[in-house]
Amino acid sequence: MVTGNTMQPESGTAKQGDNITMSVTTDKAEEIHLHGFDLMFQGEPGRKVTKTFKADRTCDCEIEIESTSTHLGSLTVSP
């Protein structure tokens, strides 16, 4: 859940090769970007957006509000 400039939970972890399902709900219309996997979540107030993807690489991937580059959290994928 993204409220203002904060996200709960702030971080997530996975192992390389895992299938990851990530859901984002925002309190206003904004685009949330998961770096490293270059996934975009088009947030609309109160609407959950869900994407599933393969963790095909290791990374410490930043999650941010795209328009303002505001850091929200991270996803760490380890070997």
Task: Look up the domain containing 49 and give its range.
Answer: 2-74
Q: What is the pLDDT of residue 15?
A: 98
pTM exceeds 0.85: yes
Residues 1 and 7 sit within 8 Å (Cβ to Cβ): yes
Q: Which residues contact 35 (CB under 8 A, 6 or more apart)?
A: 61, 62, 63, 64
pLDDT tens-digit readout, 13-41: 999 999 999 999 999 999 999 999 999 99
Residues 36 and 47 sit within 8 Å (Cβ to Cβ): no
The structural domain count of the chain equals 1
Q: Does 37 fall in a domain? A: yes
Q: Does 68 fall in a domain? A: yes
How many other CB atoms sit within 10 Å of the CB of residue 76? 13
Q: Does 79 fall in a domain? A: no
